[in-house]
Every structure is written in C-alpha cells, then in structure tokens.
Chains A and B, each alone.
Chain A
Amino acid sequence: MNELASLFIRSAFVENMPLTLFLGLCTFLALSRRPGTAVGLGIAVIAVMGVTVPVNHLLFRFVLAPGAWSWAGLPDLDLSYLRLLTFIGVIAAAVQLVEMVLDRYLPALFTTFGVFLSLLVVHCAILGGSLFMADRNYDLAESAVFGLGSGTGFAVAVIMLSAIRRRLVYADLPDGLQGLGIAFILTGMMSLGFSAFAQVVAP
C-alpha cells in the first residue's frame, strides 16, 4: 500500500509528465490560455490515462510480451514490436468510449470538453504513460496507480499554468515574448519548482 502511494506521488509530482519528461507539451501550451479549458483537459487526461494504462498492461502481458503465447505451444513468439500499434489502437478506442459514455450520461460535461477528447488520441503523455509502463514492467495495480498519478500530475500542471497565464494577460511583455515565448519561460519556472519534489520522495 505504502509503495503504491509513493508511486502515485512520484508519477504525479516528481516525474511530472509535462514539466520533467516534456510529454504532452503541445496541448499543455496550446490549451492553457483559459482556466476553464485547462480544467476540462485535465479531467479528460486523468480519465483516459486511468483507463488506458491498465488495459494496455493486460494486453501487453497476455498477448504481446515474449512467451505470452507459450500456452498455445508458441514459447518463442515475441510480439513486443507491435506494442506501439496496439497501444495507439487501445487509446483511440478508449477515447471513443469515454466520449460515448459522457455523451450519454453527462451531456453538459461532454459539450464542455468534447473537442479535447478526440485530440487526446495523439497525446504524447497518454501514449508515453503506456510505453513507460511496458518499459518498467509495472504489475496491474502499479499500472493503474501510475496511470492515475501521471494524469493527475498533468492536470495539476496545466491548471496551474493556465492560472498564471490568466494573470499575465495584462502584463506588458516585450513583443517577441508575447504568447509562446513567455509560456515556455513560465513552464521552465514551474519545472524548477517541481524539481524540489525530487527531495521529498527521495528514499
């Protein structure tokens, strides 16, 4: 239990997807102009990562990993090179599923962030989460916690950045820094702040 809690903290803060691993930066910067959209994006990422990482774990372990087909008399079959295609397929299906469920039961929420949901199919943080899970050999519980933790980390970071950028709307910046430039520098400062978390969990 304790290990799972520390894995959650580590994936959410120490190895924060956008701030320390640079994953999912495209949406992180493009959709952080307004806090409202940032909250929608954050919730969508948590939902999709929480579903896809464990599902991909099961698929990887029982279908793709070397030796997974030994019960069928094929002990040498190693399908792990197909993991990228499989993961992308699962993510696309999961996004579609989350979309349908929201459309049916929470139409108000669906209209708020319907557009971002389909964007998440090509979201580096979500695919990266599944790939890290496969690389680090997490078990099922760890994958679920890792997915939720990474999603939470992304949500926290994007909401914080949108709040800061909201404040900067009235700032008188040099012309060249307006927009993208200052967003990068803000992200760098947040990243400096988050690097302090490395001390918190260090064993």
Chain B
Amino acid sequence: MSPWSTLTDPILRQNPVTLQILGICSALAVTTTLAAAATMAAALTVVIVCAAGIISLLRNHLPSSIRLIMQIIIVASLVIVVDQLLQAYFYEMSQRLSVFVSLIATNCVVLGRTESFALHNRPLPAMVDALGNGLGYSLVLVILGSLRELFGRGTLLDVEVLRTVEQGGWFEPLNLMLLAPSAFFLLGGLVWAIRSWRPEQVETSEFGLTRVKEPGP
C-alpha cells in the first residue's frame, strides 16, 4: 500500500467514524460549536499520531500479554499532557470541553489504530496511518460542528453568517440543533449520504427482502 493511500483511505473510504463506528463517544458531545469541535479534533489528531509513533517504536519490546495495558497507559499519559497544555494556554476552551478531552484516552479510534496497525508496522507508516485516521475523525467533527453552529446560532466560529431574528435579520435559529438528538440525526444522515455515494460500504441486512425484478412492459 502506498503511503498516499495509507493517508487518504481513512479520510473517506474507510472513515473510522462513519464506517467502523469507532470513536463516536466523544465525537458528538463537543460539536455544538465549530471551535470546540476543531479543538477536540486537533487534540485527538495529536494524541493518535504521537501514540502510534511511540507504540510502533516499542513494538518489538512489548510482550503481548501486557500490550493492551501498556497502550492504554501511553495514550493516557499523552492525553494528560494535551489536557494540561489546553488548560495552560486555552483555559476557556478546556472548561467548555470539560471531561471530554480526558475521554480521548478511551477513544476507540486511538486504541483501534495502535492495536491493529502501529503494533505491526514501522514508525513512519504507523504515524501516517494515524494521521489519516485523525483527519478522517476531524472531518466528521468539523462537518457536524459547522452544521450545528450554523443552523443552531446562525454563526460560524462566532462570526455572524445568518442574521438571526433577534438581531433584526430573518433567520430563526433552530434550537434543536444545539440539543443532543440533532447530533444523532445529522450523523445518521451523513452515514446515509456517504453510503449512497459509495455503495460498497452498505451493510447487508440479516433478513433483507429479496429484490424481485420488475416485470417488463
């Protein structure tokens, strides 16, 4: 597999969130505004790339019986570093993200990539693969974050885009967009859109109806 496809495959074709149901735990809660979503995405990308590099360097020295706990400890230490950095330089944002930055430690995307890829590959490909997955995750977060902020508040990164009724404009903010259910609906719709575009991702139904050929005229 060429390095380029290692990088780009996870972004659309094998997106960790929409295809593999990994990492949605933390993906949805922080998407009420684009800024929060982007911060979260950046934090996760940093953690996953560093974790993949470190674990890949250690791969020949890790006994397989303790590899899981070692991976968790490495990831958790990186998450602590990122969390402390956020608290030091972006205090308000770290308050808004509250526990969700810490929850990167149990994010299935990170552990899934280190377990399935970084443990068997050299550091450079492992980090490229991790970067691809981080970007794939970021893409979903940024799409959801911008949709929810745009239609929920009429702003994008706190800059007014659609003038709301309160400000004397025409746009009535959709409060539902800021509540939990909208994230599920949007992600469901996104999965639907991607799978209509790339039909090979469609899951087969267990007891699906057989398509009967339409009788000819």
Instruction: Tell me if B58 counts as interface (CB < 8 A to partner A).
Output: no
User: Which residue in A22, A85, A173 is a CB contact (below 8 Å) of B205?
Assistant: A173
A187 contacts B184, C-beta separation under 8 Å: yes
Q: Given A122-B72, A122-B108, A131-B103, answer yes or no on A22-B188 (Cβ-Cβ < 8 Å).
A: no
Instruction: Tell me if B139 counts as interface (CB < 8 A to partner A).
Output: no
B21 contacts A182, C-beta separation under 8 Å: no
B188 contacts A185, C-beta separation under 8 Å: yes
Hey, what's the 0/1 contact readout for A23-35 against B, CB within 8 Å counting as 1? Answer: 1111001100000
Inter-chain CA distance A132–B29, complex, in Å, is 14
B98 contacts A176, C-beta separation under 8 Å: no
16 extra interface residue pairs, beta carbon distance < 8 Å, beyond A23-B103, A183-B188, A184-B187: A20-B180, A22-B25, A22-B180, A23-B29, A26-B23, A26-B108, A30-B21, A84-B80, A88-B73, A122-B72, A125-B25, A172-B208, A177-B195, A178-B205, A188-B182, A195-B181
User: Which residue in A19, A123, A176, A177 is a CB contact (below 8 Å) of B106?
Assistant: A123
B196 contacts A21, C-beta separation under 8 Å: no
A188 contacts B184, C-beta separation under 8 Å: yes
B interface with A by C-beta (< 8 Å):
18, 21-29, 68-69, 72-73, 76-77, 79-80, 83-84, 98-99, 102-103, 105-108, 111, 179-185, 187-189, 191-196, 199, 202-209
Measured between beta carbons, the chain A residues less than 8 angstroms from B189 are 181, 185
Tell me the residues in window 79-128 of chain A with beta carbons closer than 8 Å to chain B beta carbons. Answer: 81-82, 84-85, 88, 92, 121-125, 127-128
Measured between beta carbons, the chain A residues less than 8 angstroms from B21 are 26, 29-30, 180
A132 contacts B99, C-beta separation under 8 Å: yes
Q: Describe A's contact surface by its main secondary structure.
A: helix
B206 contacts A124, C-beta separation under 8 Å: no
CB-defined A-B contacts under 8 Å, sample of 12: A19-B180, A22-B27, A29-B21, A81-B83, A121-B68, A127-B105, A127-B106, A172-B208, A177-B191, A178-B203, A184-B191, A187-B184
Closest to B24 in A: A25
Number of A residues, CB within 8 Å of B: 48
Measured between beta carbons, the chain A residues less than 8 angstroms from B188 are 177, 181-185, 188
Q: Nearest chain A CB to B191's CB is how many angstroms away?
A: 4
Inter-chain CA distance A134–B23, complex, in Å, is 23
Closest to A188 in B: B184
Inter-chain CA distance A176–B73, complex, in Å, is 38
Measured between beta carbons, the chain A residues less than 8 angstroms from B26 are 22, 124
Closest to B79 in A: A84
